[in-house]
Structure 1
Amino acid sequence: MTTSPRPVIPSTVETLAVQGRTRTMRVLGATAEQAAPVVLLLHGSKQTGEKLRAFAGHAFDRLAADGGAVVAYLDGFKEHWNDARISNAFAARTEGYDDVAFVRGAIDRLVGRYNGDPTRVYAVGFSNGGQMVIRLIHEIPDLLAAAAVISATQPAEENFAPTAPKSQPLPVMLVHGTKDPLVPYNGGMASMWGFKPRGLGLSAPETARYYAERNKITGTPAIETFSSAQRSKTSVQAAHYRKPGHAPVSLYTITGGGHTIPGTRKAPVVMGRTDMTFDTVAAVAAFFHLSSSSQAPA
């Protein structure tokens, strides 16, 4: 059996000056002939944009492969973000890096240079990057069309950094493993395998309810169960909060899953199991109403 070669996608490293500091991002996709959606990818702790790209097996590149979107992998400062948690002690926080301003600048660059559509800007974050996306949801929701948070939960109220969070509704998709060894699915203290505590967070279901209530959706979510591969040690179930005229919220629970991105590339064992039956990229594309090179989960 032969595998198809990875499609060649134009790739450019962009450098931006943000408040006197140099920031970088890798952009996939050429300048679009017609205004194209923009997808921002924010990496996890101890990663860069390129490391996240490799960690996910280049799976998110599919969003740009067919010309459907301009995809940008942003680089944090010293492999971290100044995210939504008060407990954040990374250099990005202690040295005063304004990552919200960086994202603003990145959007301006992608709209101005790549013909990105300013009404279709989407943010996807993993782990520390997920916490950064949570900050974006509360500080610049007017610049985003939707967001996806992977392996991160809403900080507890006493651990929430934004001082004047905005309440503008926004579609939010969440993906979380029940056996995540770093960010507990059931809430509590996030840490690096029990060391370096990173503050209290809500559970994944509480996080979904928080965003549903923020979007003025109450009541019981619709449950969707996905078929698992034979002898699979993981399974997937989704809780969809939907109401006509309101921004939706979906939580994909990976039972038995770890601190991983399902359906992309198997993470190191220390991160927990990677479910390979659920296609996160296709689910993100469907939630954002984007094109992708594979179908979304049924």
Structure 2
Amino acid sequence: MPAPAYAFGAVRPKRWAVALALILGVVGVVHAGDPSGAVRADPTACTGARLLPTGTTAHAMQHDGQVRSYLLHVPPGYDATQRTSVVAMFHGLGGTPAKILAASGMNSLADREDFIVVAPLARGAISQWDFRTPPGDVRSDAHFTRALVAEVRSRGCIDGSRIYAAGFSNGSALVLALACDAESPFAAYGAVSGPYMAPDCARAKPASIAYFHGMRDKRVPYEGAETVIGPMPSVDDTVAQWVAHDRCPAVGATTTAIGALRHLSWRGCADGSAISVHVLRDEGHRWPGSQIDASSVMWEFFQSVEG
């Protein structure tokens, strides 16, 4: 692992120019080099309104012969004709979509920042994500996640280049497994308290990851241990693997320490990817919200990286 060191001039247009600009803004833009004068469609607009109910609503879908459920949170500012970002949220072992939304505050952040949140429910009497089965297996949760993203894209006006995954604990391990999927639909990943890298990650493209872990976490210890979801590696070893996978240069590494928070960051990695790791000395096994607002930091990270 590379050693981290932690206008335009204003012109008052005439009325006819203003009218022309408004017309072009509605119908599109004529390509100057196209002799046919064809009008280019607005790339941020959807063909036809994709209406969605605002607020949090419950939904179900069929996958691999099973009914899978999820919550969909749509911000009040959602425009059914303009492509919108999506964050997929994955709860921890025994959790629910409602609990991870409440713990993370991601739905409130979505209302402020105008993005959609989709939070699925894992299978089992004690809900658990299967993060070890490869995505090529239709029974895997990685395969289900692909179908879930396709479902949401078919329902709403979604920007396919700005779909992100975030998860906690067991859900964090799934998110990092998704980053190893060569056909992943996600542009970046946010993970809390669940370090992981799938053994078959070589074919996956470089992944932009924001990771958070508390040093007082006893359920998934920072140093790695046998846990209720199986053996989990140490945070340092996992970060080193992701830094190598993303081909991050040592010159792009920085370390910042502020009180009980240590931030390690790698920029300039392959294909514009980046890795950001927040180590919280006094935090246990929970979604960070006091020392650092993990949801807001994740969202800022998502916006800063290339998909």
TM-score, scaled to structure 2: 0.72
Counterpart position of 1:169? 206
Moved over 6 A (4+): none
Partner of 1:240: 265
Whole-Å separation in 2 of the counterparts to 1:210 and 1:141: 20
Q: Aligned pair in 2 of structure 1 residues 163, 289: CA closer, same or farther (>3 Å)?
A: closer
Report the alpha carbon displacement of residue 115 of structure 1 after superposing the two structures with TM.
1.1
Native 8 Å contact 2:87 2:166 kept in 1: yes
Report the counterpart of residue 4 of structure 1 in structure 2: none
- Map of 2:231 onto structure 1: 200
Please point out which of 271, 276, 291 is paired with 1:250: 276
Within 5 Å, give how 1:212-227 maps onto structure 2: 212-219=243-250, 221-226=253-258
Match of 1:45 in 2: 93
Displacement of 1:140 in angstroms is 4.6
Structure 1 residue 132: Cα displacement = 0.9
| TM-superposed deviation, 1:246 | 3.2
Write out aligned runs for 1:87-236 (5 A): 97-140=139-182, 142-154=184-196, 160=198, 166-191=203-228, 198-219=229-250, 221-226=253-258, 228=259, 235-236=260-261
Task: Measure the CA separation in 1 of the matches of 2:90 and 2:133.
Answer: 16
**Hey, what does 1:84 align to over in structure 2?**
132
Contact kept in structure 2, 1:171 and 1:249, CA below 8 Å: yes
Alignment of 1:3-22 (within 5 A): 10-22=55-67
| Cα deviation 1:112-147 (Å, max 9, x = unaligned) | 211111111100010010111122111255411000
Asked if the contact 2:262–2:279 (Cα under 8 Å) also holds between the matched residues in 1, the reply is yes
1:185-244, Cα deviation, whole Å (9 max, x unpaired): 0123234xxxxxx43332212222211111111427301223x5xxxxxx2111001126
C-alpha distance in 1, partners of 2:79/2:120?
18
Match of 2:106 among 50, 57, 60: 60
Asked whether the equivalents of residues 202 and 245 of structure 2 are also in contact (C-alpha less than 8 Å), the reply is: no
One-letter code aligned to 1:242: R
Q: Is the 8 A contact 1:77 1:97 kept in 2?
A: no
**Structure 2: distance between partners of 1:73 and 1:126:** 12
Structure 2: runs of 5+ lacking an equivalent: 1-52
Quick one: distance in 1 between partners of 2:201 and 2:303?
A: 30
- SS of residue in 1 equivalent to 2:272: coil
Kindly tell me: are residues 52 and 70 of structure 1, through their superposed partners in 2, closer, same or farther at Cα, counting changes over 3 Å?
A: same
| Shift in CA distance, 182/54, structure 1 to aligned 2, threshold 3 Å | same
C-alpha displacement at 1:181, in angstroms?
Answer: 0.6
In the alignment, what sits opposite 1:89? none
How far apart, in 2, do the equivalents of 1:219 and 1:167 lie? 22
Q: How many residues were matched structurally? A: 242
**Structure 1 residues 214 and 129, CA, compared in 2 at 3 Å: closer, same or farther?**
same
Do 1:42 and 1:124's aligned partners in 2 also have CA atoms closer than 8 Å?
yes
Inter-partner Cα distance in structure 1 for 2:88 and 2:230: 25
Of 133-142 and 65-74, deviating more is 133-142
Whole-Å separation in 2 of the counterparts to 1:110 and 1:152: 26
- C-alpha change, 1:98 and 1:202, in structure 2 (3 Å) is closer
Partner of 1:75 in structure 2? 121
Cα pair 1:215 1:246 within 8 Å, conserved: no
Residues 140, 62 of structure 1: CA spacing in aligned structure 2 closer, same or farther, 3 A cutoff?
farther
Greater C-alpha Rg: 2
Deviation (angstroms), 1:165: 5.6
Question: Among the aligned pairs, what percent are the same residue?
Answer: 23
